[in-house]
Amino acid sequence: MNKKEGFMNCFKYVLFVIAALVLYVGTASASGIDFDKAIVIGSGPKKVVEFTDPDCPFCRKAAKFFAGRTDVTQYIFFWPLPRHPKAKEKAQFILSQHDKAKAYHDVMSGKLDSQQTFTITPAGIKLQEEQYEIVKKNNVSATPTFMLFGRIIEGFDQKKIEEALGR
């Protein structure tokens, strides 16, 4: 083996190691998430973890997008942002309901935006606080944030989500 071939082999190995590290660091692990605390919507074979805010306009676009997909099961966790003053109350309202999926769709569709007060239970408040701890443990920094197939997608990037889901 000459010097050029040796250099090329070494270079290929370094590129392989770098690619492996990028893949390892850039993947999402949902292993530390307590899925019993999530709102589960759908029953499709493709699992999507979503961190969302009930008053975030991009989160609402994502909710509309996923409402049309029968191939997905969503695991929803709320992170109501302080810049949306009613978001925490809406999240607690959803988490207080017996039919959380229906309440989620009602809120995310904007159907309840004119409602001034929401019925909230201590259990809904507790669940919202537990979900917030999950948000913090997973270092979520934006809404919506999605974990799917080992990837993290911040923001509602429909093209990236469709690619990850296989359309």
pLDDT at position 131 is: 96
> Are 98 and 127 within one domain?
yes
CATH number at residue 137: 3.40.30.10
Mean pLDDT of the chain, nearest integer: 86
As a whole-number percent, the residues of the chain with pLDDT over 90 amount to 71
> Are 85 and 160 within one domain?
yes
Spatial separation of the C-alpha atoms in residues 103 and 124, rounded to whole Å: 12
Sole residue written with tokens 């008053």: 55
Instruction: State both tokens at 34.
Output: 């307590």
> Are 112 and 159 within one domain?
yes
**Cα–Cα nearest to 130, from 78, 93, 88:** 78
> Are 88 and 150 within one domain?
yes
* Whether the predicted pLDDT of 120 surpasses 50: yes
Q: pLDDT tens digits, residue range 146-166?
A: 999 889 999 999 999 999 998
Considering the entire predicted model, what is its pTM? 0.79
Number of structural domains the chain divides into: 2
The residue type of 57 is: P
> Are 77 and 1 within one domain?
no
> Are 80 and 96 within one domain?
yes
> Are 7 and 68 within one domain?
no
Q: pLDDT tens digits, residue range 9-64?
A: 554 554 443 433 333 334 445 557 899 999 999 999 999 999 999 999 999 999 99
Mark out the alpha helices in 26-166 (DSSP H runs): 57-67, 87-96, 100-108, 122-137, 158-165
Secondary structure of residue 134 in the 3-state scheme: helix
> Are 39 and 23 within one domain?
no
Structural domain boundaries enclosing 51? 35-165
> Are 117 and 142 within one domain?
yes
> With contact defined as beta carbons under 8 Å apart, do 47 and 73 qualify?
yes
> Are 129 and 67 within one domain?
yes
> Are 5 and 41 within one domain?
no
> Are 116 and 89 within one domain?
yes
